[in-house]
Amino acid sequence: MHPFTMLNSLRLPLAKKQNRVFLILDILAFLITPALALWIRLDGQVSWSVYGLPLLIGTGIFLLLKLIVLRLFGFYRHDWSYASIHELSALAQIAGVIIALQSFVFLLSGNMMTIMPPGLPRSLPFLDGLFCAILVGISRFSLRKIQTTQKQQTTETGIPTLIIGAGMAGTSFVQEAQRNPSLNIHPIAYIDDDQSKFKLQIHGISVVGNRHRIPEVICALQVERIIIAIPTASGTVVRELAEICQSTGISTYTLPSIEEILSNRAHLSDVRELRIEDLLRREPIQTDTQPVKQLMAAKRILITGAGGSIGSELCRQLLQSQPTAIALLGKGENSVFVIHQELLQVMNEMRDRGEATPDLQVFIADIRSRERMSAIFEQFQPNMIFHAAAHKHVPLMETNPPEAITNNILGTQNLVNTATKYGVQHFVMISTDKAVNPTNVMGASKRVAEMIVLSTAKRTGLSYVVVRFGNVLGSRGSVIPTFKRQIEQGGPITVTHPEICRYFMTIPEAVQLVLQAAVLGRGGEVLMLDMGQPIKIVTLAEDLIRLSGYQVGREIKINFSGLRPGEKLYEELFIQGESYERTDHDKILMVRNASHNLPETLLEQVIVLAKAAFQQDIYQIRHLLQQLVPEYTPSQSLARQAHDRAA
């Protein structure tokens, strides 16, 4: 359970006790206010012998009305420690209802009961209701003020912290820090570029200027920590802020991105260190999730490669779409075990909130095994598949071509054949930009796998599609974990070439778009995600060195080792002859003619390719891949390797 959820659950009994005390105080106030209202209305000239009995009866009637109204409005279910404008508005509405009811009963009683003397002021119900609202408000908001003051005094012992961003996220975080001393954070000022906020006070904290005043403010206020509290900020903005903050030498942290918050992977109050993903963060994707939920609802979904970076994130996001069942299929038992345990915990929390959860099943299997796949499909009966299982590491597949062929191509073919046999209507294959004009075995094998899926869609008319995108940040075997490990070892960081560039996405963003693509595809299309602008790998290395608190070139050096086998300087996004069109989603392109120019003898060629892989014939593999993928240009290292083997 999240610490703030636990904190709120512990607060519930305390709130009930507070409301019992407030009920007693309210009753005392309600017994006094009619007499007070009459005394003020008559300027203190009250004849108690004349007004005493009617006032006593009226007080009893008014007391009963007030308690009934407050009960109906749920007034005693509020936690007044968090009283705000919402509670104040509710109090004003309740006071209006009480005044209206009291006035009606007062007039009705005056006409029907002789005990009401003609001289009793008709303003009595109004004044009584007004005084009641004032006294009740004072009692509630005094509690809030006392507790806030106590907490602020407590948090003043925390670390003096500068909050960058006086928007909703920043101000909400300040409130949380003031309420919860265990965070050990003492917010002392806001920084915000919005000039209309300058010199304003929000939750007792002043907005002292824009980002250019950060160094000055840090010196003047003796700041010891900086928190960038702008979850929706783009990577460019975060990068600029990070450079200013890091130049001061003060520890800089951030709140999670809006993607992390919306996907329930983090809470607004989860302060963490800056990551490379924050510097590359793009504008938040505006996505309508309802079509995804409609497509996934009541589905039995099988995810291959479920333990991988993309596969595990697919599991997380699909869990929110209320499918009937989710099957996790993977060859590596450890990674599948980890995501399975994570999903079980999330599902327990969902059940606690009264939400429905899917049937969750786990299969450890190799997609190349026909018998195993048939047994799994027979047992699970999927009607939708996300195929994320693949060998993706370019240099390793360059030196192990048979494995790339059997896993990426034959594994995909086996999965597709089994899916059509069992009537699976939706199939989404996760591909890569390395399949475009490939220079390596991995890319070429993924391109052939694309062809197999597209040809199946063309032959059967089923909704089988391919989603193609570039690198994802933080995936296993990617540059970021490698660079982090090298920094921990004291450097140097190794980059293959100073000009090498790649397209990058965060894992949640990529999966979010994959799910959207699944909705858009009708069958036989390649859907390509908009990857934004390519990023130099050396820039990533420099950013990561700075984020780790080191100086580039001085404390951690960067060495260039030369391009690896099969590696390009620049990845490409478009294949000649493919027709790219915009879709209803501005971040997704569609290749509608993707299945039009497939080799007529594709299946026969795949059989020959499989035979070459089983025979470990690297020369034949290269030759057959070039026939299947004419745009494939193998690296010189592989050509040399094949020549040596043939000799």
CA dihedral 188, 190, 191, 193 (to 10 degrees): -160
> Are 131 and 164 contained in the same domain?
no
Whether 369 is in a domain gets the answer: yes
> Are 131 and 189 contained in the same domain?
no
**Buried (b) or exposed (e) across 575-596, using 16+ Cβ within 10 A?**
beebeeeebebebbbbbeebbe
Whether 647 is in a domain gets the answer: no
Average pLDDT, the chain: 82
- Is the distance from CB of 170 to CB of 229 less than 8 angstroms? yes
Number of domains forming the structure of the chain = 3
Q: Which of 35-39, 79-83, 197-201, 496-500 has the lowest mean pLDDT?
A: 79-83
Does pLDDT of 117 surpass 70? no
Secondary structure class of 95 (helix, strand, coil): helix
Question: How many residues belong to the chain?
Answer: 647
pLDDT value of position 451: 94
> Are 477 and 550 contained in the same domain?
yes
- Is the distance from CB of 289 to CB of 264 less than 8 angstroms? no
- Direct distance between the N- and C-terminal alpha carbons of the chain, in angstroms, rounded to an integer: 63
Secondary structure class of 192 (helix, strand, coil): coil
CA distances from 27 to 30, 133, 557 (A): 5, 13, 74
Mean pLDDT in residue range 439-466 = 94
Mean pLDDT in residue range 331-343 = 94
Does pLDDT of 307 surpass 80? yes
> Are 568 and 617 contained in the same domain?
yes
Cα–Cα dist 508/263, whole Å: 8
Percent with pLDDT over 90 in the chain: 29
pLDDT value of position 545: 86
> Are 574 and 474 contained in the same domain?
yes
Tell me whether the omega of the peptide bond preceding residue 401 falls within 30 degrees of 0, making it cis: no
Does pLDDT of 269 surpass 60? no
Tens digit of each residue's pLDDT (9 = 90 or more) over 556-606: 899 998 887 777 787 777 777 777 888 888 788 888 788 777 888 999 999
Backbone angles phi, psi at 301, to 5 degrees: -110, 130
Using 50, 70 and 90 to split pLDDT, how confident is the model at 10? very low
When mean pLDDT is compared over 381-390, 484-493, 524-533, the highest value belongs to 381-390
Amino acid at 135: L
pLDDT value of position 116: 47
Cα–Cα dist 486/205, whole Å: 41
- Is the distance from CB of 505 to CB of 280 less than 8 angstroms? no
Is the C-alpha dihedral spanning 503, 519, 282, 505 positive or negative? negative
Cα–Cα dist 331/304, whole Å: 9
Whether 285 is in a domain gets the answer: no
- Is the distance from CB of 472 to CB of 505 less than 8 angstroms? yes
> Are 542 and 485 contained in the same domain?
yes
Provide the CB-side half-sphere exposure for 644 (13 A, CA): 6
- Closest Cα partner for 612 from 602, 630, 600, 624? 624
> Are 376 and 486 contained in the same domain?
yes
- 219 burial level (CB within 10 Å; 0-12, 13-18, 19+): exposed
Got the DSSP string for 111-157?
A: HH-TTS-TTS-TTHHHHHHHHHHHHHHHHHHHHHHHHHHHHHHHHTT
Tens digit of each residue's pLDDT (9 = 90 or more) over 590-602: 887 887 778 889 9
pLDDT value of position 12: 43
> Are 136 and 163 contained in the same domain?
no
Q: Token digits for 241?
A: 């802020």
Q: Token digits for 317?
A: 């996001």
pLDDT value of position 507: 83
Secondary structure class of 217 (helix, strand, coil): helix
Does pLDDT of 2 surpass 60? no
Using 50, 70 and 90 to split pLDDT, how confident is the model at 268? low
Cα–Cα dist 310/527, whole Å: 16
Does pLDDT of 83 surpass 70? no
Q: Token digits for 427?
A: 């199939």
Contacts (Cβ under 8 Å, ≥6 apart) of 559: 492, 493, 494, 495
> Are 406 and 269 contained in the same domain?
no
Other CB atoms within a 10 A radius of the CB of residue 613 amount to 23
Other CB atoms within a 10 A radius of the CB of residue 316 amount to 18
- Is the distance from CB of 384 to CB of 299 less than 8 angstroms? yes
Does pLDDT of 540 surpass 70? yes
Cα–Cα dist 338/505, whole Å: 23
Domain residue limits at 326: 290-637
Using 50, 70 and 90 to split pLDDT, how confident is the model at 551? confident
Cα–Cα dist 239/335, whole Å: 32
Using 50, 70 and 90 to split pLDDT, how confident is the model at 426? very high
Mean pLDDT in residue range 120-124 = 78
Cα–Cα dist 447/490, whole Å: 39
Q: Token digits for 645?
A: 């083997």
pLDDT value of position 128: 85
pLDDT value of position 245: 87
> Are 146 and 166 contained in the same domain?
no
> Are 197 and 299 contained in the same domain?
no
- Is the distance from CB of 548 to CB of 487 less than 8 angstroms? yes
pLDDT value of position 645: 44
Using 50, 70 and 90 to split pLDDT, how confident is the model at 457? very high
Last residue of a domain, one of 101, 120, 151: 151
CA dihedral 47, 53, 54, 60 (to 10 degrees): 130
pLDDT value of position 612: 95
Tens digit of each residue's pLDDT (9 = 90 or more) over 86-115: 677 778 888 888 888 888 887 776 554 444
Residue 167 DSSP one-character state = S
Whether 643 is in a domain gets the answer: no
Last residue of a domain, one of 151, 175, 191: 151
Is the C-alpha dihedral spanning 89, 90, 95, 96 positive or negative? positive
* CA-based radius of gyration for the chain: 34
Report the DSSP pairing between strands 535-536 and 501-502. Answer: antiparallel
Last residue of a domain, one of 121, 136, 151: 151
When mean pLDDT is compared over 57-61, 106-110, 310-314, the highest value belongs to 310-314
Provide the CB-side half-sphere exposure for 359 (13 A, CA): 11
Using 50, 70 and 90 to split pLDDT, how confident is the model at 80? low
Percent with pLDDT over 70 in the chain: 85
Cα–Cα dist 618/604, whole Å: 19
Other CB atoms within a 10 A radius of the CB of residue 474 amount to 17
Give the long-range contacts of residues 444-447, CB within 8 A, separation 24 or more: 444/625, 444/628, 444/629, 444/632, 444/634, 445/391, 445/397, 445/404, 445/405, 445/408, 445/409, 445/625, 446/390, 446/408, 447/628, 447/629, 447/632
pLDDT value of position 11: 42
Does pLDDT of 261 surpass 90? no
Using 50, 70 and 90 to split pLDDT, how confident is the model at 84? low
More confidently predicted of 499 and 386: 386
> Are 396 and 272 contained in the same domain?
no
Does pLDDT of 119 surpass 60? no
Tens digit of each residue's pLDDT (9 = 90 or more) over 209-235: 899 999 999 988 888 899 998 887 877
Q: Residue 353's domain is classified under what CATH number?
A: 3.40.50.720
Q: What angle do CA 528, 533, 536 make, to 5 degrees?
A: 120
